[in-house]
Amino acid sequence: MTEGCESRWVEPGPARAPRISYRLNDAAALLAEPGTLAVFGFGHAASDPDDPRWLRVPLEALDAPAPLEAWQVDDAVQHGRDGALRWSAGGGWLFAAVELDEREHGGPAGAAREAYAQLRDFIRGRAEHRVLRIWNYQAAINAGHGDAERYKLFCDGRAEGCGDWFADGYPAATAIGHHGDPHLLQIYLLAGPHAGTAVENPRQVSAWRYPRQYGRTSPGFARAMTLPAGDALAISGTAAVVGHASAHEGDLAAQLQEILVNLEALLASAGMPAGFDTHAPLKAYVRHPADAPRVRELLQQRLPGVPVLLLQGDVCRSELLVELDGWRYA
């Protein structure tokens, strides 16, 4: 007698984290590799392949030759465009990017509002609707005074464009000032079908709880995000902030040391072992290019063998000289 059985569909578990690496390859060769979700070039020296998976980030690299950043996944990748938005998807992961001219949207607040509304509407129609990590690059981020500072206006517009998008929790994020096209706002993200786990730093006030002195609208991001499979930590832009205050004004070495303490606190909060290794790519955003050799030297001393991409970028507070973000794999 044959025993009956019931066929059941089982939802697949979270996919393995994308592999993020810095490569000295040609962009076209990287895009041709199986499973390439996105490739990023930096500054004016970067080429511009006609592929939605390619993005030229308007931050000048402070090392030569400048590597490219590659995101790769374990499956075939589809890609396309939707108006100003470009996207690619595969292996349970989605890359999406928007670039807008602020002049066409009434300035930094209007451009941020429109960019986030476009991303929100696109993502909500996808299986990969859980946003885990976002990067924001804005020109002249510290220009303006008080509530009219450009970064604060960006925060206002971002909140309006998001609406209730992140009511269940913010993704990890970076916001850095670039020195490219003065009207360009560039935003890109990584999303998937499963939620990650937001990680906060016990040494810092959560960004969305900042006091009024930092603007009408608090920045909306988590300090880090453990990806759904628990195999990687996406680390937000991390500066020399203790509590909610900037530390060590004017002292580059002390700021960098404070950042490294904050990074270790994040690893501990995420339940990860201390330290970074050769598979943990980091970016260092350096306000003054003349500081790059010192930043490079200090990081080589403290993080030997760790791949670090040095970029010229302005931290969102004018008194901060350097910021780090990146990835830590379990």
Q: Mind giving me the DSSP string for 99-155?
A: EEEGGGGTSHHHHHHHHHHHHHHHHTTSS--EEEEEEEEEETTT-SSGGGSHHHHHH
- Residue 246's Cα: distance from chain center in Å? 21
End-to-end CA distance of the chain: 49
Whole-number CA gyration radius for the chain: 20
Look-up: residue for tokens 């303006």? 144
Rounded Cα–Cα distance for residues 108 and 42 (Å): 22
As a whole number of angstroms, the distance between CA 240 and CA 246 comes to 6
Distance, C-alpha 38 to centroid of its chain: 13
CA distances from 71 to 10, 77, 189 (A): 28, 11, 12
Active site residue 69: no
Q: How crowded is residue 290: how many other Cβ atoms within 10 Å of its Cβ? A: 9
In whole angstroms, what is the distance from residue 298 CA to residue 291 CA?
Answer: 11
Tell me how far apart the alpha carbons of residues 45 and 53 are, in angstroms, rounded to a whole number: 18
Q: How far apart are CA 128 and CA 15, in angstroms?
A: 11
Q: Catalytic residue among 69, 102, 114, 323, which?
A: 323
Let me know how long the chain is: 330
Residue 119 C-alpha from the chain's centroid: 15
Residue 318, amino acid: S
* CA nearest neighbour of 229 among 4, 19, 8: 19
Place of tokens 């302005």: 314
Asked if 263 and 272 touch (Cβ cutoff 8 Å), the reply is: no
Return the active site residues. 323
